[in-house]
């Protein structure tokens, strides 16, 4: 079947099975980069279905492992106990989430610099992929440096702001002559500047109020061809209305950097994440966005194309089940959940949880520490 015919069949099929979905995703992943972005769009709209279909497969795969230790609460989730044989011997490349794994808010998690150095000394390649779009790659490089992680080069850092720009670049948005409307902060704007895509909105629309008096209306630029929604600490009704008009009346693309429910603005508590901003636009347009951040395959596809990686030797490490772990399981990677961020052990081991990592640990520092269970048995 030709690629276009398969895509048509996909988007008009109302019933999905695990096997048919896996086949379709595999087929698309082998085609051109444009097809991969079609996969990103498909993945965002079918996220719930894929989560439910994938979970039993992951669980059965885990039970077939040689179990060195198991949780008393949930036998299918393994806590890392022998890092060398369970993890380090099987992984060449680690992809780390940042918030909740490397730092919390603006505070570095203790022991992280030493652990990253040990991984490099062991010959492991490290990448850092964050769904936070408030900074560009250059902005995140400054944050790494400010936290004492100046050994991390900029080319190892990938943010969802970069992913949004990469999506527009690879789908040749610039050639349409259109511009983007940004709900978000400076990170998205800086990445769009780098690829020469014109935009409006972003920080410039902070504090704006639409005319809501008698006969009031908000006039928008008819050249807006895409609305990018990223985390925005200054979101307001003006921005929501502008996005609504661009999407509903001018058929602008709806692009979300991520759907994270909560985020780490500070290390004191969780804060509402970009899912709340995206939810506002979904609510007034009735449309689902193309999601470019985790768990979308866009960033792993980019890394694979650029570096020629073997996915079976890559481990995704994060603190979220529905983005980080799902990013790993959906894209053929190994996955490990850490408890240093938003996900508790209770939630992970709950019978209601359908997303299963290969292993979990308290922090990534456990990659070089034997667990008490192993120590007692030796």
Q: DSSP class of residue 337?
A: E
DSSP string, 147-184: TT-TTS-GGGEEEHHHHHHHHHHHTTGGGGT-EEEEES
Residues whose CB falls within 8 Å of the CB of residue 286, separated by 6 or more in sequence, listed in order: none
Helix intervals (H) in the chain: 3-11, 18-29, 33-45, 47-63, 83-86, 112-121, 137-146, 160-170, 186-195, 237-250, 274-285, 298-307, 326-330, 345-349, 372-377
Catalytic member of 82, 92, 221, 362: 92
Residues 360, 325 contacting (CB under 8 angstroms): no
User: Would residue 92 show up in a list of annotated catalytic residues for this protein?
Assistant: yes
User: Which residues are the active-site residues?
Assistant: 92
């Amino acid at each position: 079947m030709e690629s276009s015919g398969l895509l048509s069949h996909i988007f008009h099929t109302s019933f999905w099975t695990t096997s048919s979905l896996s086949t379709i995703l595999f087929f698309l992943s082998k085609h051109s980069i444009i097809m991969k972005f079609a996969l990103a769009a498909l993945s965002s709209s079918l996220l719930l279905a894929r989560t439910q279909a994938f979970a039993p497969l992951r669980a059965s795969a885990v039970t077939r492992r040689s179990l060195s230790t198991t949780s008393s609460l949930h036998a299918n989730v393994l806590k890392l106990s022998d890092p060398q044989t369970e993890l380090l011997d099987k992984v060449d490349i680690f992809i780390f989430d940042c918030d909740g794994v490397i730092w919390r808010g603006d505070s570095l998690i203790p022991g992280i610099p030493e652990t990253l150095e040990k991984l490099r000394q062991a010959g492991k390649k490290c990448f850092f992929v964050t769904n936070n779009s408030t900074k560009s790659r250059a902005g995140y490089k400054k944050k790494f440096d400010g936290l004492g992680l100046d050994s991390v080069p900029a080319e190892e850092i990938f943010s969802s702001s970069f992913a949004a720009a990469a999506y527009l670049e690879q789908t040749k948005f610039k050639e349409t002559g259109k511009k983007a409307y940004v709900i978000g902060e400076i990170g998205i704007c800086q990445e769009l500047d780098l690829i020469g895509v014109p935009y409006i909105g972003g920080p410039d629309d902070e504090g704006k109020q639409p005319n809501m008096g008698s006969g009031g209306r908000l006039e928008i630029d008819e050249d807006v061809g895409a609305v990018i929604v990223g985390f925005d600490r200054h979101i307001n009704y003006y921005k929501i209305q502008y996005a609504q008009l661009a999407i509903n009346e001018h058929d602008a693309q709806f692009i979300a950097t991520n759907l994270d429910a909560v985020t780490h603005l500070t290390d004191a508590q969780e804060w509402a994440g970009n899912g709340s901003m995206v939810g506002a636009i979904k609510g007034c347009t009735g449309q689902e966005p193309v999601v470019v951040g985790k768990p979308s395959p866009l960033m792993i596809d980019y890394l694979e194309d650029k570096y020629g990686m073997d996915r079976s030797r890559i481990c995704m490490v994060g603190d979220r089940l529905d983005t980080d772990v799902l990013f790993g399981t959906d894209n053929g990677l190994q996955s490990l959940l850490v408890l240093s961020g938003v996900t508790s052990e209770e939630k992970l081991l709950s019978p209601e949880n359908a997303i299963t990592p290969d292993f979990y640990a308290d922090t990534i520092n456990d990659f070089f520490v034997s667990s008490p269970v192993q120590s007692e048995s030796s």
